[in-house]
Amino acid sequence: MSSISSPANRSAQVRGLTLDTTVDLTGIEKIYRGKTHALRGIDLQIHPGEIFGLLGPNGAGKSTLVKILMTVITHTKGQGTMLGKPIGNKATLAKVGYLPEHHRFPNYLKGKQVLDFFGAMSGVPKKERKQRTSKLLDLVGMTESANMKVGRYSKGMKQRIGIAQALMDSPQFIVLDEPTDGVDPVGRKDIREILLQLKAEGRTVFLNSHLLSELELVCDRVAIMVKGMVHQQGTIDELTAGKGFFSITPKSTFDIDVAKGCRDALKGIESQINESKNGCTGMKFYTENVESVQCVIDHLRSNGQIIQSCGLQRPSLEDLFMKAVSSVEGGATPGADKSPKGGAR
Amino acid sequence: MIRVFKAMMIDTLRYLRSRFLFWLVLALSTLAAILLFATYSFTPEGIQILGFKPIENPMLAKGTPGRDMFVAGLFNGFYVKFWLGWGAMILALVSTASLIPDFISDGAIELTQSKPIRRSTLFFFKFLSGLGFVVAQLTIGIGLAYLIIGIRFDLWLHTSLLAIPLLTLQFVYLYAISATIAVITRSTIASLLGTILIWFIIFLLQFVANNIHKTHETFLTQANQVQTRVVTLTERIETGGEDPTASQTRKMESLLREKGGIIESADSLYPWLKNFKRAELAIPKTGDLQKYLAKKVDAPVTNEFMGLFFNISDDAVRPSTISKEEMEDANAAEIAAIKAVRNLSITESILSSLAVVGLLLWFSMWRFSRRDF
* Residue A330 within a domain: no
pTM for the predicted model, two decimal places:
0.80
Selecting from B3, B10, B116 the residue whose C-beta is nearest the C-beta of A93 gives B116
Lowest mean pLDDT across A309-323, B113-127, B143-157: A309-323
Same domain, A199 and A284: no
Asked whether residue A327 is assigned to any structural domain, the reply reads no
Helix (H, G, I), strand (E, B) or coil at A36: strand
The 8 Å CB, 24+ separation contacts for B74-77 are: B74/B36, B74/B37, B75/B36, B75/B37, B75/B145, B75/B149, B75/B157, B75/B160, B75/B297, B75/B299, B76/B290, B76/B293, B76/B294, B76/B297, B76/B299, B77/B299, B77/B300, B77/B302, B77/B305
Q: How far is B168 from chain A (nearest CA, A)?
A: 25
Cα dihedral sign, B155-B156-B162-B168: positive
Tell me, yes or no, whether A66 and A156 share the same domain.
yes
A196 located within any domain: yes
Angle A118-A119-A120 (CA atoms, 0-180°, nearest 5)? 90
Gap between the Cα atoms of B164 and B147, Å rounded = 14
User: Is B23 near chain A, with CB under 8 Å?
Assistant: no
Contacts of B257 (CB under 8 A, 6+ apart): none
Specify whether A160 is located in the same domain as A11: yes
CA atoms in the 13 A half-sphere facing the CB of B36? 27
Domain that holds residue A274: 245-313
Report yes or no on A68 lying in a domain: yes
Rounded to a whole number, what is the distance in Å from the CA of A38 to chain B's nearest CA?
13
Specify whether A51 is located in the same domain as A163: yes
In this complex, the residue of B107, B118, B373 whose CB is nearest that of residue A103 is B107
How distant, in Å, are the alpha carbons of A189, B98, B218 from that of A110? 25, 20, 60
Residues A150 and A37 in one domain: yes
Residues A186 and A277 reside in one and the same domain = no
In a domain, A39, yes or no: yes
Residues in A touching B18 (Cβ below 8 Å): 107-108
Contact B373 A67 (CB under 8 A): yes
Chain B residue closest to A69 (CA)?
B114
Q: Quick one: A200 and A278 in the same domain?
A: no
Give per-residue pLDDT as tens, B62-81: 878 888 888 988 998 889 98
In-domain check, residue A267: yes
Is the pLDDT assigned to residue B312 strictly greater than 80? no
Counting as low any pLDDT under 50, the low residues of chain A are 1-17, 331-345
Residue A156 domain-assigned (yes or no): yes
Largest CA distance in chain B: 94
Q: Name the residue facing A90 among B117, B184, B186 (closest C-beta).
A: B117
What percentage of residues in chain B have a pLDDT greater than 90?
42
What residue segments make up the domains of chain B, in order of their start? 2-370
Q: Are A123 and A91 in contact (CB under 8 A)?
A: no
What is the Cβ-side half-sphere exposure of residue A108, based on CA atoms within 13 angstroms?
Answer: 13
Q: What is the CA radius of gyration of chain B?
A: 26
Edge-first strand order for the sheet with B40-42 is: B40-42, B46-49, B55-56
Instruction: State whether A280 and A176 are in the same domain.
Output: no
Residue A158, CB-side half-sphere exposure with 13 Å CA sphere? 20
Q: Residue A291: which CATH number?
A: 3.30.70.2030
pLDDT at A19: 63
CA–CA distance, B46 with B53 (Å, rounded to integer) = 10
pLDDT digits (tens, 9 = 90+) for B165-224: 999 999 999 999 999 999 999 999 999 999 999 999 999 999 999 999 999 999 999 999
Nearest CA in chain A to B183: A342
Number of cross-chain residue pairs from A and B with Cβ atoms under 8 Å apart: 99
Domain boundary among A223, A240, A257: A240
In the prediction, which pLDDT does A329 show? Answer: 55
Cα dihedral across residues B298, B302, B303, B306: positive or negative: positive
Residues B234-257, mean pLDDT to the nearest whole number:
85
* Same domain assignment for residues A80 and A221: yes
Position A256 scores a pLDDT of 84
Q: Which residues of A touch B10 (CB under 8 A)?
A: 117
Nearest to A202 by CA among A172, A166, A230, A236: A172
DSSP B343: -
Residues with Cβ within 8 Å of residue B108, at least 6 apart in sequence? A103, A104, A106, B102
Q: Are A128 and A232 in a shared domain?
A: yes
**Mean model confidence pLDDT for chain B:** 88
Work out whether strand A173-177 and strand A36-46 pair parallel, antiparallel, or are unpaired. Answer: unpaired
User: What per-residue confidence (pLDDT) applies to B21?
Assistant: 84
pLDDT in tens, A38-73: 899 999 999 999 999 998 888 888 989 999 999 999
Shared-domain flag, residues A197 and A253? no
At B21-37, the pLDDT tens digits run 888 888 999 999 999 99
User: Which of A64, A90, A101, A167 to probe by mutation at the B interface, max B CB count within 10 Å?
Assistant: A90
Structural domains of chain A, count? 2
Residues of B in contact with A98 (CB under 8 A): 110-111, 114
The C-alpha angle with vertex A159 and arms to A158 and A163, in degrees rounded to 5, equals 115
Which member of A103, A343, A345 has the closest CB to residue B110? A103
The answer to whether residue B373 neighbours chain A at the CB level (below 8 Å) is yes
**3-state SS string for A195-252:** HHHHHHCCCEEEEECCCHHHHHHHCCEEEEEECCEEEEEEEHHHHHCCCCEEEEEECC
pLDDT (0 to 100) of residue A120:
93
Domain-embedded: residue A341:
no
State the CATH number of the domain containing residue A80. Answer: 3.40.50.300
Cα separation, B240 vs B244, in Å, equals 9
pLDDT value of residue A11: 46
A94 to chain B: nearest residue by CA? Answer: B116
Helix (H) or strand (E) holding B102: helix B99-103
* A103 shares its domain with A197: yes
Closest by alpha carbon to B148, among B245, B1, B30? B30
Nearest CB to A118: which of B10, B111, B373?
Answer: B111
Q: What is the dihedral of CA B167, B173, B178, B183, to 10 degrees?
A: 140
Task: Decide if B18 and A343 are in contact by the 8 Å CB cutoff.
Answer: no
Q: Give pLDDT tens digits for A318-331.
A: 888 887 887 775 54
Domain boundary among A187, A218, A240: A240
- The residue count of chain A comes to 345
Q: Specify burial of residue A86 (Cβ count, 10 A radius: 0-12, 13-18, 19+).
A: exposed
Are B110 and A108 within 8 A, CB to CB? no
Q: Please report, for residues A28, A30, A287, the alpha-carbon distance to residue B371 in angstroms, rounded to integers and kept in the order given.
A: 18, 13, 51
Q: Distance between CA atoms of B114 and A100, rounded to whole angstroms?
A: 9
Longest Cα–Cα distance of chain A, Å, equals 77
Residues of B in contact with A74 (CB under 8 A): 372
DSSP bridge pairs for A204: A173
**Identity of the residue in A103, A106, A340 whose CB atom sits nearest the CB atom of B15:** A106
CA of B103: which chain A residue's CA is closest?
A106
Of the residues A99, A121, A159, the best mutation for testing chain B's interface (the one with the most B CB atoms within 10 Å of its CB) is A121
Strands A96-99 vs A173-177: parallel, antiparallel or unpaired: parallel
